[in-house]
Structure 1
Amino acid sequence: MEYSNPFDDPNGQFYILMNTSGEYSLWPDYCPLPAGWNKVCEPQPQALCVSWLAGHWQALTPQTWSATGEGR
């Protein structure tokens, strides 16, 4: 099956990206990287990326959000 949205392709290769707030994102390996995001790893299958994120990203609140006291 071909996917119209590259983020939904379970057979795709993805970077794990991280921004300065400590948030992560999966990013298709053939798409240009968005500004402000850095690669955490080289392209991996989607399932490996999701597994890595499950073990390394426990809080959805951005680090900078918690540090500034916003949202309290």
Structure 2
Amino acid sequence: MENTDTDEGVEHAWFVVVNDEDQYSVWADGRPVPDGWRTVGEAGDRAACLAYIEEHWTDMRPKSARGALASGGNHG
């Protein structure tokens, strides 16, 4: 008999979430998205979501840090 009490071996749908600092993460479908985050792209398997993040999150610095540098925060 199959054990139905665990999710072992079950592939869940995932989606990509991004916050106001342009930081990305994967999020399991069916879980409420935390405050300050929004979904982007389409739901898929975890590998597809990670590939989306790799393609779109090209600058790991938070948006506020990028903005500070662009507005003259670089004193070097």
- Give the TM-score of the pair, scaled to structure 1: 0.73
Match of 1:2 among 5, 8, 21: 8
Q: Give the alignment of 1:1-40 within 5 angstroms.
A: 2=8, 11-40=11-40
Q: Which amino acid aligns with 1:25?
A: S
Shift in Å, 1:35 = 0.2
Matched, 1:48 2:48: yes
User: In the alignment, what sits opposite 1:59?
Assistant: 59
Tell me how large the CA RMSD over aligned residues is: 2.4
Shift in Å, 1:51 = 1.1
- Give the TM-score of the pair, scaled to structure 2: 0.70
Higher radius of gyration, 1 or 2 = 2
Give the Cα separation in 1 of the matches to 2:65 and 2:30.
31
Give the Cα separation in 1 of the matches to 2:42 and 2:56.
16
Give the unaligned 5+ runs of structure 2.
1-6
Q: 4+ residue runs of structure 1 moved beyond 4 angstroms?
A: none
Query: What number of residue pairs does the alignment pair up?
Result: 65
SS at match of 1:66: helix
Give the unaligned 5+ runs of structure 1.
4-8
1:7-33 CA-to-partner distances (Å, cap 9, x unmatched) read xx7x22111011111111100001111
SS at match of 2:42: coil
Give the Cα separation in 2 of the matches to 1:14 and 1:41.
11
Sequence identity of aligned pairs in percent? 26
